Structure formats: structure tokens, C-alpha cells
Amino acid sequence: RVRGGGAGMLATRIFSGPPGRDEPGGCGNLGVRFAVDLACNPEAGWQELNRFGQIPRAAPILPMPPAADHGDIRGQLLDVDEDDEDPYEVVVMVDGQEVWITIDPLKGPRWGLKDNDWVSMKQLGFAGHGRDFRALTPSERETCLIQIAKKVKPLYERLGKSLARVQKVQEIDEGPQLSHSEILALVKERIKNRCALEMRRPVITWRNIEIDDVTENHMKTAKGMLYDMEFPWTESGLAQMGPDWLTQAFHKAGSMDLDNKVVKIILEKKIKVTTGNNGGKFLFEVKYKKPDPTLSTKLFAKIPYPLEGATRTDRLSSSVNKQPQEFYELNCNRLLEATMPCRIPRFYFGDISNDTTNWILITDRILFSDRAGQNYGRPKPRKGPLGPFMIEGPYDKCLDYNLRGDPKEYYLLLVRTGAKMAGLYKAGKMGDIGLLQKSFGCMEGRSMESWGMVFTGNSGEDPRLLRSKIDNGIGLISDTGKAIYPSYCTDDAFLDKLRSALYLMNAYTNEINCWKHASPDYIALAHVNMNVDNAYFWRDKKNRLSCGVIDWAGLGSMCVGHKLWWW
């Protein structure tokens, strides 16, 4: 609560943006930036804070990042959850000014700054007037909010001049308020302690399974290998097991204090994540019994694909052919979050069953700030950088014209990140090397025999099956796509030489792998696919690019030279 006076009611809201001026990308919506809302209402008296709860001892206006475009909407999504009755906020950038708009799921956006000032579409001259806000399409809602923000913007300009007249901010029932740096320190300490406890546990290993294990058991509920508790592996399963299960899961994983609990789970109904070929994904929000600025409310879950329809082959590929890649990804999140040389989404819970191959990974949600990376058509002029600490993307592989900066800068950063990880691993700074070699894939120290070398024949794929792949590739460079390849790619002599080299490499597949991993000097812990689609990027106030990395499935120690080629 705050005392109203000549300057009106002062309320601070914790912004659900990328965490921090110095440490973005890993703490989600834990309250890194503050937006200040001033209601010019001298008779306000004592007023209730909004549902975000937290207020600082002072009420500074932090520097606001410049907008990439006029009317850039960030914050929560514009889709309205009709089952949630709580108002929520979005932030609109207008000419570099950050303007907060409160939205009630039933009444729509607030027009003024009083409790009953709900917008009239007719007041705006908006084409959608006369309809309920929930009935508008997302693009209509966006247009509506931008119009409101432009009209409200002058109030926000007066806000800065009025702050000096605010007499007193009194905190009630919340105890001492923490600064951003204090919150970040608590989060880092919690992650460090959680990872240290996980490192001291006995090593958990994977038992290889066959296709029949998946087909016979994929619908069964079983306890996980990591936390010895049953878990959901579908979106509906999470809703069914509910807040009590999620509370127990967060407690077991050490991601939430034992005196707190999850009281509500809100599944994201409008936005569905469909990218990737190794598993399903969905978004959800949670509410906690006790407000905790170190916990995120916007979360992300990764789960296996259903063993049916269009995803049947993908499920068998990930659960059998690529096993145990999901087990390694879960180990990465639970063991290495504190020692990674880059940000990864904060781990809240994850487990997998060796019997059913079902699994779930729950992490912080990455709050992407724009959709520039989603152009799959004709290349457009490259957009400039976003404001400081605004997360770019998400980007897709091989569409470098979507990157907001020079592609070389992005790929060099990814390679440097991989190099830092390799160095930390070799120096023992990511944990005991012996433990890590048992917890992840390890190509180091294997005997020649274990590679399956064949001294009298072919050690690779059956040449009869390989032929169609080679023919397709040669057809691409010599015919279908010849316009983008050198002219010699249509020459028969070159194509015969290429075809012969590919067959020869295939025949010596295992021998080549053995040679690549013969010296431990060239082997280190490495991401299997460090590309722009498995990373998220932001810039600091000096325009320096930083990144976080996702999708750690298949993590292991292997030939770094091979990984550099793959990256």
C-alpha cells in the first residue's frame, strides 16, 4: 500500500522481462525492472498495490530501452485467458517511451488511471467498437493498445516530474524489499546450492532400451530415475496432477523453499510451441502461496512426442535411435546450471523413466521481445538492434538474413561459448570430470575394438541404402540448385570424384571416428548443435552481444573438431 498525496497513488510493478542489467536471460520474470504508474487522484488515500505486490524503498524510474519501432508491444501476450479473472499488464513502446496498459480479461484495457476507467472502443474511433475486448483478434487488440498508449503517453511524461512530490512510501506486510542485485545474488546462490547437492548424489546411469519397450510402455505412469516420483509427460497430465504435485516436484528439485507452494497452474491456451523434432513443448503460468521475487511465474515445459500419427517416427527416433539424449539434457540442467559459461533457462524440475522413456523438463520461460526471426519468405532488410537486454528472436537455422546484426558476430559468439565450455571442462571447473563422464556421453578412452572397426570390409551404412542419399545430394548441387553452386558442380568428372569420396568415407566410418577420438587433448564436453536456433541473444548498454543456450539433448565429451564442423 502507498499513501496518496498531491502526486497521487504510486504503485510499482515488477516487469516480466529479461532479468537484469548485467545478468539477463536466466531468471525470467523475477522482477528485474520497475515501471511506475501514477494516478493523479489527490483523494486516493491508502491504496492496494496490484497483484504484483512488490514495491522498492524508493521509486526510481529506471532507464527505458529505446523502441525498435513505434508501438512495439512487450510484456505479457495479448491473448486473453477467459478463465483467469486477474488483471494483467502489457508494456507498449511509443517513441522510445515505455507505457504500461492494464488489461482486465472481462473489461479489456484500462483507458485512464482510475479503477473504473475502462476503455470505450468508440472513444478511440476504433473499428472494433461495440465488441467485447475478448472478441477482438490479436492484431485488433494490438492496434487498440497502441492507440491507447499514444493517448496515455503524456501522463507518463508528467509522471517523472511528479515523483519529487511523493512524500512517503510505506511497506506493509511485505518485509524488507530487495534490490535487483540482491535478488540476482539470491537466485545464483540457490542455483549453486542446488547443483552442489545434485553433484553429491550417487551417479545415475541409463539402461539402453528397445523399440518394444517404448511401444508397450509409453502410456504407463512410472516413477522417474532422478527424483523417484511419478510425473506427468503431457500438458493435460500436468493439469490433472495439479499444483500439489508441482509443489512436491519443486521441493524435491530444490528450486523452491519448503515453506512455499504452488496454488494455481494456468495453461497457455492460445500460443502453442511447435518447433523442433525431438519433443513437444508448452507454456504455462503458476501462482505461489507466498510471493517470492526469486521465482518465475512464467514457465516452459518440454515433453516427449506422442507415439501416434505424424509424430510417431519422431518419438521412436528420439527415444530409441538417439537414446539417451533426453536423459543427458535433464542431467545438464540439474547438474551444470551453476557452472555453465553461458545462461541457460533456469531449471525447476525434470525427470525421466527408463522403463517408459517418458520425461518432462520444466524451466524458466525465455521472454522473447520480437518476432524478427520468424520470416520464412523473401529476405527483408536487416533490422537494427533492440534495446538493451531485450531478447531477440527466436531465430531459425540457416535463415541468417533474419539476424538483427552481422551473422559473423553471432556465430563467433557461439563458437567462443563452446570454447569456454571446453576449457572449463578440461580444467575441472564444471565439476569432477569422472562424474561428468559417467553422467553424459563420453567418447574418451575407448578401445579400438569398441568402435566396431572392420578390417576387411565396410564399417558404415549399407552402400545400397546410401546410394539414394548421395544421388539426392548430387542432384541438388548439379541440377535443382545449380544456380547457387560453382559451375564445376555440373561437371561429370567432378561429380564422379565426389561420389567416390563419399562412398569411401562411408566405408571407413568407424575407423574415422576412432581416429578423431584417439587423443584426449581434442576431446571436451560440448553441445551437439550450437546453432542460432538453439540460442537466444541480447545486447547490453554498450551494444555488446551475449547469448544463452538451450536444447542440451545429447550433451557429452567428444571430438571438438567434429563439433566445430557441426556448429
pLDDT, tens digit, 9 for 90 and up, residues 277-288 = 678 999 999 999
DSSP label at residue 368: B
Confidence of residue 74 (pLDDT cuts 50, 70, 90): very low
Q: Which DSSP helix (H) or strand (E) runs through 526? A: strand 523-526
CB atoms within 10 A of CB 256: 24
pLDDT above 90: residue 353: yes
Query: How many whole angstroms separate alpha carbon 401 and alpha carbon 381?
Result: 8
> How is the chain split into domains, by residue range?
2-177, 178-365, 449-516
Which residues are registered as beta bridge partners of 512?
none
Exposure b/e, 454-468, CB count within 10 A at least 16 = b:
eeeeebbeeeeebee
Choice among 28-42, 80-94, 122-136, 409-423 with the minimum mean pLDDT: 28-42
The pLDDT of residue 82 is: 46
Q: What percent of the chain has pLDDT over 90?
A: 59
The pLDDT of residue 180 is: 84
Dmax over Cα atoms in the chain, in whole Å?
92
The pLDDT of residue 485 is: 96
The pLDDT of residue 87 is: 63
CA distances to 95, 233, 417 from 351, rounded to whole Å, are 46, 9, 27
CA distances to 190, 334, 411 from 344, rounded to whole Å, are 15, 11, 18
Q: What are phi and psi of 298, to 5 degrees?
A: -100, 115
- Cell numbers standing for residue 106: 472481462
pLDDT above 70: residue 514: yes
The pLDDT of residue 120 is: 52
DSSP label at residue 133: G
Confidence of residue 145 (pLDDT cuts 50, 70, 90): confident
Q: Whole-number mean pLDDT of the chain?
A: 79
List pLDDT tens digits, range 211-240: 999 999 999 999 999 999 999 999 999 999
The pLDDT of residue 371 is: 73
DSSP secondary structure of 315-359: HHIIIIITTTHHHHHHHHHHHHTTT-SSB-PPEEEEEE-TTT--E
CB atoms within 10 A of CB 340: 20
Looking at residues 116-127, what average pLDDT do you find?
A: 51
Return the half-sphere exposure (C-beta side, CA atoms, 13 A cut-off) of residue 26: 23
Q: What is the model's pTM?
A: 0.70
The pLDDT of residue 276 is: 67
Tell which wins on pLDDT, 204 or 112: 204
Q: Can you state the angle between helices 509-516 and 492-507, rounded to 10 degrees? A: 70
pLDDT above 60: residue 15: no
The pLDDT of residue 23 is: 40
In 3D, which of 567, 443, 436 has the Cα closest to residue 517?
443
Choice among 53-62, 68-77, 227-236, 485-494 with the minimum mean pLDDT: 53-62
pLDDT above 50: residue 479: yes
Query: How many whole angstroms separate alpha carbon 272 and alpha carbon 294?
Result: 26
**Residue whose cell numbers read 537414446:** 323
The pLDDT of residue 143 is: 73
Confidence of residue 133 (pLDDT cuts 50, 70, 90): low
pLDDT above 60: residue 507: yes
Tell which wins on pLDDT, 270 or 400: 400
The pLDDT of residue 43 is: 34
Query: How many whole angstroms separate alpha carbon 165 and alpha carbon 7?
Result: 6
The pLDDT of residue 376 is: 87
Looking at residues 307-311, what average pLDDT do you find?
A: 92
**CA-angle at 120, arms to 115 and 126, nearest 5°:** 145
Choice among 119-128, 213-222, 233-242, 536-545 with the minimum mean pLDDT: 119-128
The pLDDT of residue 270 is: 81
The pLDDT of residue 86 is: 61
pLDDT above 70: residue 62: no
Query: How many whole angstroms separate alpha carbon 357 and alpha carbon 222?
Result: 10
Looking at residues 329-341, what average pLDDT do you find?
A: 97
Confidence of residue 46 (pLDDT cuts 50, 70, 90): very low
In 3D, which of 536, 518, 277, 326 has the Cα closest to residue 417?
536
Question: How far is the first Cα of the chain from the last one, in angstroms, to the nearest whole number?
Answer: 52
Confidence of residue 147 (pLDDT cuts 50, 70, 90): confident
Are 421 and 525 in contact by the 8 Å Cβ rule? The answer is yes
pLDDT above 90: residue 256: yes
DSSP secondary structure of 382-398: PP---STTPBP----TT
List pLDDT tens digits, range 174-188: 445 788 889 999 999
